[in-house]
Amino acid sequence: MPVNTLARLPPGTTQAFVDGTVTGAVAAGKARGKKAKVSAYSREYKRAFKRVSKLYRKKDGGWKKDGFKRAVKAAHKATKNKR
Query: Residue 63 has what pLDDT?
Result: 96
CA distance 40 to 17: 45
Rg for the chain, CA atoms, rounded: 25
Q: Which pLDDT score, from 0 to 100, does residue 6 have?
A: 75
- pLDDT 10s per residue in the chain (83 long)? 677 777 777 776 666 555 555 555 566 666 778 889 999 999 999 999 999 999 999 999 999 999 999 999 999 999 998 87
- Residue 54 burial by Cβ neighbours in a 10 Å radius (0-12, 13-18, 19+): exposed
* Cα dihedral 12→18→21→25 (10° resolution): -140
Our CA angle for 53, 56, 60, nearest 5°, is 95
